[in-house]
Structures are given as C-alpha cells and as structure tokens.
Structure 1
Amino acid sequence: MEAGYKKAKSTPGYSHLLENTKVIGTWDDHDYGLNDAGKEFAGKITDQKLLLDFLDEPQDSPRRKQDGVYASYIIAQ
C-alpha cells in the first residue's frame, strides 16, 4: 500500500491536483486492505497511518487519534 501511495504522489496529474485543490480524502472498506474487510482487519491501523501520511494530514490532527479516517468539513465558496 505504501508503494502505491508513493507512486500516486509522484504522478504528474496528482501533483497538479495538489497544486490547485485541497485533497482531504477518505477510504472505503476495500481501501485499507481487503474488499469487505471490517473492524477485524489487523492492518487497518497501519493502513490508516499510511493514508493520512499520503494526504499530508497534520500529526496533531484528530483523524490520527480515532478509529477510521472520517471527518466533516465546511467549505466556503
């Protein structure tokens, strides 16, 4: 999973997206291991950290202190 994130982050299209958009990201059950994997998936803590590192989530973010990567945002236009 870490290699996939590194590859995605080095893709010119993703770099361009980051220059123009705030990426907040989330995941689905298959994104942190196995399709339809649930809370019993042993690697989910590690995979959560990898995703939040990929998203450049601050180290003091509440998303790093909870089970899962959910969050809510208010985006003003």
Structure 2
Amino acid sequence: MTDPFRAILTVQQAALEGWLSMTTMAMRSWEQVLTLNQQLLRHADTLVRVHVEIDDGPTFTGKYGKRHLDIDPERDV
C-alpha cells in the first residue's frame, strides 16, 4: 500500500512547482510588455513633429481656407 503522507507531499510539491513556473512566466511576460512599451515610446519620441499641421480654429483676423494651413509633404518629411 502506498504511503498517503508521501502522496500528499508529492501533490503539494507539484502544485508549488507549477505555481512558481506560472508566476515566472507571468513576470517574464510583463517584463517583455514593459520593454516593448519603452521601445515604442522611445521610437515615438524620435518621430515627433516640431510644427503644428492642423489649424487650432478660427481667430479674429484669420479665415479658413488659407493656403498656409495646407500640409506640405516636402516640409513635413
């Protein structure tokens, strides 16, 4: 007959190892997500535009339809 105490210890040890493995994989996944997020933000910081392309609305002296509001692909590169 098998020893019930040894069987319980084996089950508990297997559960603990599974839980540790699952926690390790979750932490590695979060580390990967944070690393990719940091790379994305760093990449977006290098591609930031220095001028405003879209007019922010009507002014007292301004009018819609002026040519200076058009997007210039030569300048925006």
TM category (shorter chain) comes to under 0.3
TM-score in terms of structure 1 length: 0.20
TM-score in terms of structure 2 length: 0.20
Which gives a bigger RCO, structure 1 or 2 (Cα 8 Å, sep 6+)?
1
Larger Rg: 2
